[in-house]
Structure formats: structure tokens, C-alpha cells
């Protein structure tokens, strides 16, 4: 996969370690998760899949530490540094930006990569992995506008930070584009992309919040909801399961949640994919083969770094014309005919 490379842009309690401190492997890829955990059915889990894919393809060893709170970030990075055998340390999440920068500048010979963060100026020993998630979310917004029966869709986020709101931006812009093309007036609840204001749970772990926020949006008329809050969204899926998909459908984020949430997979209309597994595996390959260069890797629709998941159980419900329109819009975004943004 040919990701665009830009040279210049912009628990220790409860930790789990795979493998021994002294690695028998030629190369060890180490990862620090955000607070959602390694099995969050989304963000961290997808990034970790990049490591396990590298284990299978390249024969490396993978190891991770889970962060239970933001105070664990620096401690977990330092623990991996102390092990002395990490060929690359991959940190997962925008909130780890400061801790990763501090560690990278203090250890210039250690290779780092951070998911969902870009430094400006760049740091020579850090590759930032960022994603044009708004492109894929634009397609999801257009899809939701074409599928809603109530004329109202909704979204909410975990924390008001760019890697979260980029999903919400694209979703709202896609709905707006549908309205302009079709002369409709589908309403988006939960986010105003111009004011940058909306609904946030202020956490990435409370399933109860996911249920509550989705319930509130449903009560206001939304029959399709996009939760951008990691495992919090599992609470929204549980509500949709109870209500029935004739009343509420969910759009997943990060990974194909039809696959990662099998018990409730029938509630997902689609998922907005952020293919962190591919970028993580590329970073590991670069680090192993001395192709590592600080800078930025950008996942887009053009290089399959972002995309829409299949409709799965909902496939027969999505009109053929709508499917065709979404494929056309995807190509128009790729070739620049449509510019995603305000």
C-alpha cells in the first residue's frame, strides 16, 4: 500500500507485555495504547493489528503496554525505552502527542511513530500517522442522508479533539452535500462543523454514556447515529439492538465494527474505516529496513488509508442508485472534483 509520505508537515498497573524483556527476535515493535485498551473494537485494536500483521509477515516480535489513564503515557513509554529492545515504539492517539515528543527528543536514536498526530516542525525520529478521515465520513454522511426515514441523523464524540471531530465534520458535510444534490433537508444533530460545537461524552470508555447519548439523539428524532468515541459506541450499538434497526442504525468508526462487535453487528449500516493497521505495518517495515524517515504518513481514499466498510446485513436495504452515487462521489473526491471541507 503506497501511503503518501511527506517529509515536512505539521499502567504500568494492568500493563500487558507480550514476549520477554530480552527478545529472541531480530526486531521488536512496541506499542503504547490510549486509554480505550488494546481490545477496544476500534482505534487501539486496529493499530495493534498492524503489529500482529507485521509479526505474521515479517517475523518480528510485538509487545504492548496498555494505558489506564493519561498519567500512564509517559511511564509506559519510559518502560519500553528501559527495555532497550524496541526497534520502534508506536504510540496510539492524539492525547499522547506531548509524551511522545518529550521521549523522542530525549532519545534521538530511538525510532517512534504516533497514530493521529503530526508535529510541525517534524521530529527526525518520529513518523506521524494521520488520516483524511473526513473523506470517508463524507461518504457515510451522504449514505445516512439517503437512508434516514425520519429526516434526522445524529453524531457525538468522545473528546473534542481533531481526530474525533474530523469524523463529525465529514459526516455533516456529506449530509449537506446530499441535501444540495437532492433538494432535501436532512438534519444533523450533535455537531456544528462551522462553530465546532457539539455533543461529547468526555471519555472513551463509558458504555453507559454511549447508550445515553444515542438515546437522547433518538428521542430528538435521529434514526441513524455516528458515535466517534471508541468503546463508548458499543453502548450505542446495544441500544440499537434493543430498539431494532427499523428504529435506530449505527455507523461505526475506525474498524469495521460489523466484524469487531459480532454480538451486535447487525445494527451497523457501515463503518468509517481508518486503516491504521496498514500504516503501522508500513512504519514497522520502514524501521526494519532502514527506510525510516521522520515526517508524516497520510491515509486517504486514494491510497485506501480510509474508506467505508461493506454494508453487510444492510446491503439489500441500500438502494442500488445510492450505492452507485457513493462510488461516484468517492472517485470525485479522489480526482479532486469534490473537495471535502467547508
- In tens, the pLDDT along 145-163 reads 999 999 999 999 999 999 9
Residue 341 confidence class, pLDDT cut points 50, 70, 90: confident
Q: What's the rounded mean pLDDT across residues 76-97? A: 97
Give the pLDDT band (50/70/90) at residue 299.
very high
- The answer to whether residue 283 scores a pLDDT higher than 50 is yes
Same structural domain, 317 and 191 = yes
Q: State which residues form the domain around 168.
A: 133-273+306-335
Pick from 260, 262, 210, 220: nearest CA to 240: 210
Query: Is it the case that residue 22 has pLDDT exceeding 70?
Result: no
- In a domain, residue 231? The reply is yes
Residue 122 falls inside a structural domain: yes
pLDDT digits (tens, 9 = 90+) for 46-82: 999 999 999 999 999 999 999 999 999 999 999 999 9
- The pLDDT value recorded for residue 40 is 87
**Whether residue 207 sits in one domain with residue 247:** yes
Residue 47 covered by a domain: yes
Task: Say whether both 189 and 313 belong to one domain.
Answer: yes
Residue 222: is its pLDDT beyond 90? yes
Question: From the CA atom positions of the chain, what is the Rg in Å?
Answer: 20
Nearest to 305 by CA among 296, 315, 293: 296
User: Among 144, 165, 176, which residue's Cα sits nearest to residue 318?
Assistant: 144
β-sheet with 306-308: strand ranges across: 187-189, 152-157, 224-228, 249-254, 268-274, 306-308
- pLDDT, residue 335, reads 97
Same domain, residue pair 246 and 176? yes
> Could you tell me if 255 and 280 lie in one domain?
no
Asked if 175 and 142 touch (Cβ cutoff 8 Å), the reply is: yes
> Is 161 in the same domain as 206?
yes
Quick one: what percent of the chain has pLDDT higher than 90? 89
Q: Which residue has the cell 442500488?
A: 320
Residue 342 lies in a domain: no
Q: What is the mean pLDDT of residues 244-269?
A: 96
Greater confidence (21 vs 255) lies with 255
- Together in a domain, 143 and 201: yes
Does residue 147 sit in the same domain as residue 104?
Answer: no
Q: Is 95 within a domain?
A: yes
340 pLDDT tier (thresholds 50, 70, 90): very high
**pLDDT greater than 70 at residue 6:** no
CATH code: domain of residue 229: 3.40.50.2300
What's the average model confidence in pLDDT over 203-231? 97
Specify whether 85 is located in the same domain as 56: yes
Whether 98 and 180 share a structural domain: no
Q: 71 and 60 in one domain?
A: yes
Task: Say which residue, 273 or 9, is predicted with more confidence.
Answer: 273
pLDDT for res 342: 65
**Residue 186 within a domain:** yes
Give the C-alpha separation, 223 to 312, whole Å: 18
Is 162 part of a structural domain of the chain? yes
Are 56 and 69 in a shared domain? Answer: yes
Strand partners, 89: 30, 112
Amino acid at each position: 500500500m503506497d501511503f503518501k509520505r511527506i517529509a515536512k508537515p505539521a499502567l504500568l498497573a494492568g500493563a500487558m507485555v507480550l514476549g520477554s524483556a530480552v527478545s529472541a527476535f531480530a526486531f521488536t515493535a512496541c506499542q503504547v495504547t490510549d486509554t480505550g485498551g488494546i481490545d477496544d473494537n476500534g482505534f487501539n485494536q486496529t493499530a495493534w493489528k498492524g503489529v500482529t500483521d507485521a509479526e505474521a509477515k515479517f517475523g518480528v516480535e510485538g509487545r504492548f503496554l496498555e494505558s489506564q489513564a493519561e498519567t500512564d503515557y509517559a511511564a509506559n513509554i519510559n518502560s519500553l525505552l528501559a527495555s532497550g529492545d524496541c526497534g520502534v515504539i508506536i504510540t496510539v492517539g492524539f492525547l499522547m502527542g506531548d509524551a511522545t515528543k518529550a521521549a523522542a527528543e530525549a532519545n534521538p536514536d530511538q525510532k517512534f511513530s504516533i497514530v493521529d498526530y503530526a508535529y510541525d516542525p517534524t521530529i527526525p525520529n518520529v513518523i506521524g500517522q494521520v488520516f483524511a478521515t473526513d473523506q470517508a465520513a463524507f461518504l457515510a454522511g451522504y449514505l445516512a442522508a439517503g437512508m434516514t426515514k425520519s429526516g434526522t441523523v445524529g453524531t457525538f464524540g468522545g473528546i473534542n479533539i481533531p481526530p474525533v471531530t474530523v469524523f463529525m465534520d465529514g459526516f455533516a458535510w456529506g449530509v449537506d452535500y446530499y441535501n444540495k444534490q437532492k433538494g432535501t433537508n436532512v438534519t444533523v444533530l450533535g455537531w456544528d462543523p462551522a462553530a465546532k460545537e457539539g455533543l461529547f461524552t468526555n471519555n472513551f470508555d463509558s458504555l453507559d454514556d454511549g447508550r445515553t447519548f444515542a438515546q437522547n439523539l433518538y428521542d430528538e428524532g435521529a434514526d441513524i447515529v455516528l458515535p466517534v468515541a471508541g468503546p463508548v459506541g458499543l453502548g450505542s450499538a446495544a441500544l440499537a439492538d434493543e430498539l431494532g434497526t427499523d428504529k435506530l442504525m449505527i455507523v461505526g468508526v475506525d474498524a469495521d465494527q460489523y466484524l469487531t462487535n459480532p454480538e451486535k453487528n447487525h445494527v451497523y449500516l457501515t463503518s468509517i474505516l481508518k486503516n491504521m493497521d496498514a500504516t503501522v505495518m508500513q512504519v514497522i517495515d520502514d524501521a526494519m529496513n532502514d527506510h525510516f524517515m521522520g515526517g508524516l504518513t497520510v491515509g486517504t481514499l486514494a491510497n485506501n488509508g480510509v474508506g467505508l466498510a461493506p454494508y453487510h446485513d444492510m446491503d439489500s436495504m441500500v438502494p442500488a442508485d445510492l450505492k452507485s452515487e457513493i462510488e461516484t462521489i468517492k472517485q470525485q473526491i479522489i480526482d479532486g472534483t469534490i473537495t471535502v471541507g467547508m
